[in-house]
């Protein structure tokens, strides 16, 4: 995992700032020759490839999104009504599988390229879907959820990397962000299909689950027409094939431009390999904690990622239909569509705001908004009579309080999706190159491990400390996260990756980064990367 990610991150950095190294290596003396291929017109093939592999993001969203409606409509299909602990188990197992899948996908990505792990993820998706669809016992359904999680983790890790290696620099951020939007779109489609099949006579939930196999099969077939990434081809000595792929991506480029691009990739690979050979994995890991600047950078990235999970969003995604049924909505699965739709809409908003207003400003506004929304929801639940043993409404209607809960949850999702949802993944830009491999791994582990905590405790918290207590807890997490962001999160918008290293030499670098932003307000912005949902 470390080898794979270190090579990946250094490749992207090297391809953007490699001019001096190439001049020393004897590549054409004209500095612009190395980057001029990026100025040529990118073909529609680059966008078509992005659209194709973004089906992996759609699968990620669909397989994490349908569980909300399934928990409502599954009834006694698995032999009995699912208890709260069983619902938490089958929900959290996908996150556990995703954690394992992400690690294994990373370990094999460099050895087998980018396409084979995606094919493997498609196969795992289909197997997990079949296991769930044909389940008549909780144990089989749970195994299917874990297997699907393996595919979710693999797709979430590999697809953004594949897109990033193929995408022209000026479109890279948008192309990777498109994969993120595919995740939210998958969740929206899952909610819509789940609502549509929830009242189908028989066991409509099996249709909701089974439909998830078709996008996986479509992705596996269409991937046949997608090329391997140029970086992987060069790394395996297939230079001629790499040039063919570059010609496909940049049809108006010259042979010299393509060879210069290949040379820059070769140099970045050599530099990454040399760096990795100088120290062991354990030494690199200790460097995070022994070097204050690196430790602060990794801490900030991981804390923001933890906020994105512990703040309560995934309780709404996994249990939204259950939650709305608790507060008295008759067609809770249909109401849950509103949550998924809001999530999708505001992920589009983030795409236009994150580079314009910067990460810090968006986080300070949206995380505070999340905290306020959770506070209002906690107060509203106090006026809704709920049986804590069954989590069912004790009256015929929740009245104004139920409506207020719905409104505040929608507002919360809007704040979440337009801010921390994507910025948590951009946080890897804060981590210095020498520890970025392990730092990114810790960031990923922070995501899935905290996701497991939330998905496996929500219903128990609702019963144990009341709904008001549970949402009050999420409010507290969001508020503590907001305080952390105010004092510890620097804004590195437009800052070159090499320059970010200097930020954390000045404590958490909040003032330093503000000064840099003022001094470089009118300078050209450097393209930053976005990884995963």
Q: Is residue 469 part of a domain?
A: yes
Q: Does the pLDDT at position 443 exceed 50?
A: yes
pLDDT digits (tens, 9 = 90+) for 432-442: 766 665 676 67
Q: pTM for this one?
A: 0.73
Claim to verify: residue 152 and residue 294 sit in the same structural domain? no
Domain boundary among 229, 259, 276: 229
Q: Does 342 fall in a domain? A: yes
Q: Radius of gyration of the chain from Cα atoms?
A: 23
Q: What is the domain-level CATH number for residue 391?
A: 1.20.1250.20
Residues 349-375 have pLDDT tens digits of 877 787 778 788 899 999 999 999 999
> Can you give the pLDDT at residue 206?
92
Give yes or no for residue 498 having a pLDDT over 80.
no
13 falls within a domain: no
Q: DSSP label at 490?
A: -
Distances (CA, A) of 204 to 82, 118, 209, 337: 17, 29, 9, 17
Neighbours of 364 (CB within 10 A): 17
What's the structural domain count of the chain?
Answer: 2
DSSP summary character for residue 529: -
Its domain, for residue 507, covers 287-533
Nearest to 57 by CA among 219, 225, 257, 248: 219
Of 78-82, 323-327, 387-391, the range with the highest mean pLDDT is 78-82
- 316 has a pLDDT exceeding 50: yes
Q: Are residues 220 and 305 in the same domain?
A: no
φ and ψ of 124, to 5 deg: -65, -40
Query: Does a structural domain hold residue 237?
Result: no
- The reply to whether 133 falls in a domain is yes
In a domain, 22, yes or no: no
- Answer yes or no: is pLDDT of 271 > 90: no
Distance of CA 90 to the CA centre of its chain: 21
Cβ count near 160 (within 10 Å): 25
Q: Evaluate whether residue 339 is within a structural domain.
A: yes
């Amino acid at each position: 995992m470390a080898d794979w990610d270190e090579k990946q991150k250094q490749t992207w950095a090297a391809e953007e700032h490699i001019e001096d190294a190439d001049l020393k290596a004897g590549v054409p003396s004209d500095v612009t020759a190395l980057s001029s291929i990026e100025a040529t017109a990118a073909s529609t093939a680059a966008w078509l490839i992005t659209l194709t592999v973004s089906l992996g993001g759609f699968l990620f969203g669909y397989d994490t999104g349908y569980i909300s409606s399934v928990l409502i409509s599954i009834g006694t299909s698995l032999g009995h009504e699912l208890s709260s602990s069983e619902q938490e188990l089958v929900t959290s197992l996908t996150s556990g599988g995703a954690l394992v899948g992400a690690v294994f996908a990373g370990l094999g990505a460099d050895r087998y390229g980018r396409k084979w792990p995606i094919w493997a993820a498609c196969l795992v998706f289909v197997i997990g879907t079949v296991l769930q669809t044909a389940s008549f016992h909780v144990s089989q359904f749970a195994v299917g959820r874990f297997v699907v999680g393996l595919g979710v983790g693999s797709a979430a890790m590999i697809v953004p990397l594949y897109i990033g290696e193929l995408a022209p620099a000026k479109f890279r951020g948008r192309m990777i962000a498109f994969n993120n939007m595919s995740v939210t779109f998958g969740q929206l489609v899952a909610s819509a299909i789940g609502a549509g099949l929830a009242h189908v006579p028989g066991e409509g939930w099996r249709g909701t689950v089974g439909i998830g196999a078709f996008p996986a099969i479509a992705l596996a077939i269409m991937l046949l027409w997608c090329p391997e990434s140029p970086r992987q081809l060069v790394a395996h000595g297939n230079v001629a094939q790499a040039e063919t792929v570059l010609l496909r991506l940049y049809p108006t480029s010259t042979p010299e431009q393509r060879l210069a691009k290949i040379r820059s990739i070769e140099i970045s690979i050599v530099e990454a390999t040399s760096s990795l050979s100088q120290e062991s994995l354990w030494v690199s890991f200790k460097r995070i904690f022994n070097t204050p600047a690196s430790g602060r950078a990794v801490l900030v990235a991981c804390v923001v990622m933890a906020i994105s999970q512990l703040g309560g969003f995934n309780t709404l995604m996994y249990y939204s239909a259950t939650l709305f049924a608790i507060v008295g909505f008759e067609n809770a699965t249909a109401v849950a569509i509103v949550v998924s739709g809001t999530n999708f809409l505001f992920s589009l908003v983030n795409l236009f705001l994150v580079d314009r207003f910067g990460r810090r400003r968006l986080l300070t506004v949206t995380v505070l908004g999340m905290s306020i929304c959770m506070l209002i929801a906690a107060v509203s639940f106090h006026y809704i009579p709920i049986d804590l043993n069954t989590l069912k409404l004790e009256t015929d209607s929740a009245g104004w309080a139920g409506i207020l809960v719905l409104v505040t949850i929608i507002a919360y999702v809007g704040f979440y999706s337009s801010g921390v949802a994507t910025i948590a993944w951009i946080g890897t830009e804060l981590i210095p190159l020498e520890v970025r491999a392990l730092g990114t791994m810790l960031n990923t582990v922070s995501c899935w491990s905290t996701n497991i905590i939330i998905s496996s405790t929500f219903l128990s918290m609702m019963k144990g400390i009341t709904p008001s207590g549970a949402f009050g807890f999420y409010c507290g997490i969001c508020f503590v996260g907001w305080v952390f962001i105010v004092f510890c999160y620097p804004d590195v918008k437009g800052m070159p990756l090499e320059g970010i290293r200097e930020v954390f030499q000045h404590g958490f670098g909040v003032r330093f980064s503000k000064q840099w932003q003022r001094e470089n307000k009118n300078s050209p912005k450097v393209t930053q990367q976005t990884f995963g949902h």
